[in-house]
Amino acid sequence: MSTATPTRAPHQDVPTAHKPGAGRVGSGLFDARQLLKSFPDAVRKLDPRVMIKSPVMFVVLVGSVVTTGLALKDPTDWFGWAITAWLWLTTIFANLAEAVAEGRGKAQADTLRKAKTDSVARRLTQDGKGEEQVPGTELKIGDLVVCEAGDIIPGDGDVVEGVASVDESAITGESAPVIRESGGDRSAVTGGTKVLSDRIIVKITTKPGETFIDRMIALVEGAARQKTPNEIALNILLASLTIVFLLAVVTLQPFAIYAGAKQSMIVLTALLVCLIPTTIGALLSAIGIAGMDRLVQRNVLAMSGRAVEAAGDVSTLLLDKTGTITLGNRQASEFVPVKGTTEAELADAAQLSSLADETPEGRSIVVLAKEKYGLRERHQGELSQAEWIAFTAQTRMSGVDVDGKRTRKGAAGSVITWVKEQGGHVSDDADLLANRISEAGGTPLLVAVNDDKGARVLGVIHLKDVVKEGMRERFDELRRMGIKTVMITGDNPLTAKAIAEEAGVDDFLAEATPEDKMALIKREQAGGK
């Protein structure tokens, strides 16, 4: 199967930016859409079995029912109707605040469920000669599905044919693509990961409802929102005050009768609600919403107001590297030429050979050459006779043949082999530069050319995980607050150490699987942190 595609530069139609604020979710308690969506949940929370968990609001609910009955008994009593309305508004408001808080957490599960439901699989027919498109949720154990560059793998399984480069950063936190091929210990793939190059056939090995995405949905929906010690102590205090004031109001009526000023049940109910700490009980969730709103403005989603309160007791902060500390993909940071080659010559060859590389790393090389060296991207009309060599997992190279000049860029081993096959030689400083970048935790890519001077290596591209701007200052601030920061990543220890030192975290965990991450969280919690 040929990987050469003539005449077209692959990147010329790639959009460079998204619209600011696209897809931003409305925040705050008074967001109309969120209120309407949460209102049915607030009504369902009027169930006495739910309300009794908050003694103060349970008393208000009972008072609402009592005053409603008395107001119906005497429809002309406007005072009774006013008290009834205020009590019901208080009850609904408290429930609505809690429903909005929980609704934000459920949005995470809804997003995951939508991604699972919308995924379409290209399943091979029984005779193996054709394909049929089916929803990913209908895949069964033993089904064979085809995945090509750009496809999302629809379910957990094993590669039974082919080899491909797969982006697993969403699952493992590893920013570098990994090679997945049939046979051996590199055949397992996870649903939700993305194929970056080539074509593979995956045999589904997991039942519907038991995939990795299903487990993530269950984790989000079943997250135990336990009460914090502060909330438990406050609830005990509120319950005690409620009992005290309830006894006080009950004993008030005999004294009123004795004094000849008997009070109605509506007045006594209103007095009780005024005496007990209704405001505190009703606004516990609203206070959480205010904290959540501030977090949302900083792109942090909390499961509930209780999570915000618990954050005040945090002593250790565990952070995933990819997308949290770093930008999410390895990016080209510099071009390092070998002796006898200028940076401009290397940048020109690096950009030209990366136009056929559709991976994030390839795009970053094009962008670096354009921004740092002022090299504008070539267009189809300018290179009409060019033969583009796309990146594949087998060759691990990309490049272009144009005007009798052959340019290649890729993994060090692959490029060195190509140069030697072309009759050229590799200078010692090329190996030295590549090793230096590897020891610093980066990834070296060699750039080579074969022209009238022969085949030779021009230099090295330094790929690295780019730490987000201002991260070191933020970690310094957390350290002053007494909070220890730990970076968790699927990268190898050398790369992880380099990123940890650049970011300024206190500690790191390398080569971590999802199970390792959960084990570390439980270990820290068991230690009282």
**Active-site residue list:** 320
Residue of 2, 1, 7 whose CA lies nearest to 400: 7
Segments in 74-120 forming alpha helices (H): 78-118
Query: 201, 195 in Cβ contact below 8 A?
Result: no
Residue of 380, 359, 377 whose CA lies nearest to 367: 377
Residue of 458, 463, 209, 181 whose CA lies nearest to 341: 458
Partners of 455 in beta bridges: 450
Q: What is the DSSP string of 464-521?
A: EEEEPTTHHHHHHHHHHTT-EEEEE-SS-HHHHHHHHHHHT-SEEE-S--HHHHHHHH
Residue 385 has φ and ψ, to the nearest 5°, of: -100, 10
Partners of 457 in beta bridges: 448
Residue of 490, 393, 444, 366 whose CA lies nearest to 16: 366
Rounded-to-5 percentages of helix, strand, coil across the chain? 45, 20, 30
171-201 in b/e form (b: 16+ CB < 10 A) is bbbbbbbbebbbeeeebebbbbbbbbbbbbb
The arrangement of strands across the sheet holding 405-411 comes to: 4-6, 387-389, 397-402, 405-411, 443-451, 454-467, 326-337
